[in-house]
């Protein structure tokens, strides 16, 4: 049997492609290396029953996000983050100072967006990094850069100002209390999928493409490859004697998979209220920025999310990579120490469950999400460009305004199927 399309990977991009292939009536198969679907979109349950997303959690992109259509009555969406609290020189700053931070961050985001739009209009190899473009003695700019290190999964001195990641999501960020991973799984519906089956070789040399796996070789007219750029760079998948063309290798080099991890600490019910961090004090969950850190850490916290007593730390870049490599106990221990500065060690004793993002150390994922390196202005578009109209690429690293996001990944899978379908008809 010869398939119309074989989809490699069942993360958001692969599931989007499979869902669309099915509705277009294509003869397709999805092959996934892991024992589960979802890739970097996965919801686990903490010991307390609290859902926790190891990867994507926030519905972003406003009207461009197709997952809104799949949020039914059983999926709970959370309240929006209500501004910033600021921890400085051993104290929580007052409301006026927190508002000053909000104003400064809004101004920096606006400036960032303006620079990003301008350089995206005329892509140039000389485009500066985010840090270079935005440094200018602005209030709180170092704190903004620390937050971006998580948003971009890399230090702002490494990331091109033209990259939409971190600034261009559009619309509100809406937390999915029931778990974004569950929404994506639901959106995929009943698709044909083979698990525990890593693709090892894609051979384009014959009339049909041969896709090699430990379970046998499949024949197909088209392939959509959705693995991360970390997996591509490690060359776990071979492309035969000729390999991938240089322009594709250059695109992969230009969009490395950075590190973005989370540590979730669940407190016993009522703890945050007891110590004065209840929703009632802030009218909603709060983003806590610990400023003037004395080390290279960059975590920022969301307090009082989930069902009220979950605190999640967002970490990025080199520090995140090192902490993830040290393993879950080290990630949790660091996070507890960090939060103890603010909440006190008594409160830390009330933690009843903890979870961390493991993706950096998972061979088939290789990190958080991609960032655009300085000097590779067209890399995202080049990654998405098919080879011989037969080998297609999709995933969060591909082009488009929604690069790095779950819905961007899904949409890239849909785009690839549309192109293949138009060739078939
Ligand atoms: C901490 C964190 C927070 C995030 N927060 C958000 C957020 O709030 N909102 C948002 O929109 N996005 C967020 N993201 C990003 C989002 O999770 C990703 O962009 C998206 O899930 C990536 O999907 P993908 O399909 O491109 O890649 P993946 O999910 O990596 O899917 C690729 C699949 O390919 C499989 N694979 C690898 N090698 C092989 C092989 N040889 N053969 C077969 N299969 C293979 C992998 O196992 C994987 O399942 C976050 C990510 C992280 C890490």
Q: What's residue 277's pLDDT?
A: 66
Q: What's residue 25's pLDDT?
A: 96
Q: Which atom of ligand 1 is nearest to the CA of 397?
A: 26
Question: Is the CB of 331 inside a 6 Å radius of any atom of ligand 1?
Answer: no
Measuring from atom 16 of ligand 1, which residue has the nearest CA?
Answer: 406
Domain count, the chain: 2
Residues 6+ apart with CB under 8 A from 208: 2, 219, 220, 221
Is residue 55 domain-resident?
Answer: no
Q: Helix, strand or coil for residue 282?
A: helix
Question: Is the CB of 227 inside a 6 Å radius of any atom of ligand 1?
Answer: yes
Same domain for 265 and 357, yes or no, is yes
Same domain for 12 and 147, yes or no, is no
Give CA–CA dist 14/31, Å, rounded.
9
Question: Is the CB of 34 inside a 6 Å radius of any atom of ligand 1?
Answer: yes
Mutation test of ligand 1: which of 223, 229, 369 has the most ligand atoms closer than 8 Å to its C-beta? 369
Is residue 159 domain-resident?
Answer: yes
DSSP states of 220-252: EEEEEE---HHHHHTT-SB-TTT-S-HHHHHHH
Angle of helix 95-121 relative to helix 141-151, nearest 10 degrees?
60
Rounded to 5 degrees, what are φ and ψ at 116? -60, -45
Same domain for 263 and 329, yes or no, is yes
CB atoms within 10 A of CB 97: 15
Angle of helix 406-424 relative to helix 12-23, nearest 10 degrees?
40
Give CA–CA dist 230/7, Å, rounded.
18
Q: What's residue 279's pLDDT?
A: 45
Same domain for 283 and 236, yes or no, is no
Q: What's residue 289's pLDDT?
A: 76
Give CA–CA dist 20/7, Å, rounded.
11
DSSP states of 305-318: ETTTTEEEEEEEHH
Give CA–CA dist 227/6, Å, rounded.
13
Question: Is the CB of 236 inside a 6 Å radius of any atom of ligand 1?
Answer: yes
Is residue 63 domain-resident?
Answer: no
Same domain for 264 and 208, yes or no, is no
Question: Is the CB of 413 inside a 6 Å radius of any atom of ligand 1?
Answer: no
Give CA–CA dist 328/345, Å, rounded.
20
Question: Is the CB of 56 inside a 6 Å radius of any atom of ligand 1?
Answer: yes
Give CA–CA dist 108/140, Å, rounded.
9
Mutation test of ligand 1: which of 34, 55, 57 has the most ligand atoms closer than 8 Å to its C-beta? 55
Q: What's residue 181's pLDDT?
A: 97
Is residue 219 domain-resident?
Answer: yes
Radius of gyration of the chain (CA): 22
Chain-centre distance for alpha carbon 421: 28
Same domain for 108 and 248, yes or no, is no
Torsion of CA 388, 391, 396, 398, to 10 degrees: 0
Residue in this structure with the two tokens 């999640």, named with its chain if needed: 312
Do residues 407 and 41 make contact, with C-beta atoms less than 8 angstroms apart? no
Q: What's residue 280's pLDDT?
A: 43
- Which structural domain, as residue segments, surrounds residue 351? 82-172+258-361
Same domain for 152 and 198, yes or no, is no
Is residue 71 domain-resident?
Answer: no
Give CA–CA dist 201/239, Å, rounded.
6
Say how many Å lie between the CA of residue 359 and the centre of ligand 1.
9
Residue in this structure with the two tokens 């004793």, named with its chain if needed: 349
What's 309's domain CATH number?
3.90.660.10
Is residue 47 domain-resident?
Answer: no
Question: Is the CB of 57 inside a 6 Å radius of any atom of ligand 1?
Answer: yes
Same domain for 279 and 335, yes or no, is yes
Mutation test of ligand 1: which of 314, 396, 408 has the most ligand atoms closer than 8 Å to its C-beta? 396
0.85 exceeded by pTM: yes
Same domain for 233 and 375, yes or no, is yes
Same domain for 37 and 183, yes or no, is yes
Is residue 53 domain-resident?
Answer: no
Do residues 225 and 391 make contact, with C-beta atoms less than 8 angstroms apart? yes
Per-residue pLDDT of the chain (425 residues), as tens digits, is 999 999 999 999 999 999 999 999 999 999 999 999 999 999 999 998 999 999 999 999 888 899 999 998 899 998 877 777 778 777 777 778 878 888 998 899 999 999 988 888 888 888 999 999 999 999 889 888 988 999 999 999 999 999 987 776 677 888 999 999 999 999 988 998 999 999 999 999 999 999 999 999 999 999 999 999 999 999 999 998 889 999 999 999 999 999 999 999 999 988 888 877 654 455 556 778 776 677 778 888 888 777 768 999 999 999 999 999 999 999 999 999 999 988 888 889 999 999 999 999 999 999 999 999 999 999 999 999 999 999 999 999 997 889 999 999 999 999 999 999 998 77
Same domain for 263 and 331, yes or no, is yes
Is residue 103 domain-resident?
Answer: yes
Q: Return the closest-CA partner of residue 93 out of 371, 306, 288, 245.
A: 288
Q: Which atom of ligand 1 is nearest to the CA of 394?
A: 26
Residues 6+ apart with CB under 8 A from 32: 9, 10, 14, 193, 194, 195, 196, 197
Q: What's residue 330's pLDDT?
A: 97
Mutation test of ligand 1: which of 13, 16, 41, 298 has the most ligand atoms closer than 8 Å to its C-beta? 41
Question: Is the CB of 364 inside a 6 Å radius of any atom of ligand 1?
Answer: yes
Q: Which of 317, 343, 361 is the endpoint of a domain?
A: 361
Question: Is the CB of 150 inside a 6 Å radius of any atom of ligand 1?
Answer: no
Q: Which of 361, 377, 400 is the endpoint of a domain?
A: 361
Q: What's residue 283's pLDDT?
A: 52
Same domain for 163 and 283, yes or no, is yes
What's 226's domain CATH number?
3.50.50.60
Classify the phi-psi angles of 215: left when phi > 0, otherwise alpha if psi is within -120 to 50, otherwise beta. Answer: alpha
| Token representation of residue 162 | 């033209």
């Amino acid at each position: 049997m010869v398939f119309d399309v074989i989809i490699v990977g069942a993360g958001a991009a692969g599931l989007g492609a499979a869902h669309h292939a099915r509705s277009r009536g294509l003869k397709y198969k999805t092959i996934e290396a892991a024992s589960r679907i979802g890739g970097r979109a996965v919801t686990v349950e903490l010991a307390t029953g609290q859902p926790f997303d190891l990867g994507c959690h926030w519905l972003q992109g406003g009207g461009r996000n197709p997952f809104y259509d799949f949020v039914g009555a059983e999926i709970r969406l959370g309240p929006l983050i209500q501004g910033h609290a600021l921890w400085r020189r051993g104290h929580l700053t007052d409301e006026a100072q927190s508002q000053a931070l909000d104003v400064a961050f809004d101004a920096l985001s606006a400036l960032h967006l303006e620079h990003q739009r301008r350089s995206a209009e005329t892509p140039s190899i000389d485009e500066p990094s985010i840090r270079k473009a935005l440094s200018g003695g602005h209030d709180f700019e170092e704190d903004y850069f620390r937050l971006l290190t998580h948003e971009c999964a890399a230090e702002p001195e490494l990331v091109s100002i033209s990259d939409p990641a971190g600034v261009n999501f559009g619309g509100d960020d809406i937390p999915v209390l029931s778990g974004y991973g569950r929404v994506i799984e639901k959106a995929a519906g009943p698709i044909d999928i083979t698990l525990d089956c890593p693709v090892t070789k894609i051979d384009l040399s014959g009339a049909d493409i041969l896709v090699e796996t430990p379970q046998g070789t499949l024949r197909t007219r088209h392939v959509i490859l959705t693995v991360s750029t970390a997996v591509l760079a490690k060359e776990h998948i071979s492309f035969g004697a000729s390999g991938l063309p240089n322009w594709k290798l250059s695109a992969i080099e230009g969009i490395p998979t950075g590190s973005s991890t989370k540590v979730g600490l669940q407190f016993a019910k009522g703890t945050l209220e007891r110590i004065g961090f209840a929703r009632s004090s802030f009218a909603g969950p709060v983003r806590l920025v610990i400023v003037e850190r004395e080390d290279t850490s960059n975590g920022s916290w969301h307090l009082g999310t989930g069902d009220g007593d979950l605190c999640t730390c967002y970490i990025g870049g080199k520090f995140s990579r090192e902490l993830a490599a040290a393993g879950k106990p080290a990630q949790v221990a660091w996070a507890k120490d960090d939060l103890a500065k603010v909440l006190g060690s008594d409160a830390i004793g009330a933690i009843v469950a903890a979870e961390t993002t493991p993706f950096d150390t998972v061979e088939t994922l290789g990190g958080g999400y991609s960032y655009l390196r300085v000097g590779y202005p067209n890399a995202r578009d080049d990654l998405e460009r098919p080879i011989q109209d037969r080998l297609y690429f999709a995933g969060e690293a591909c082009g488009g305004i929604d690069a790095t996001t779950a819905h961007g990944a899904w949409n890239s899978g849909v785009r690839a199927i549309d192109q293949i379908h138009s060739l078939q008809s």
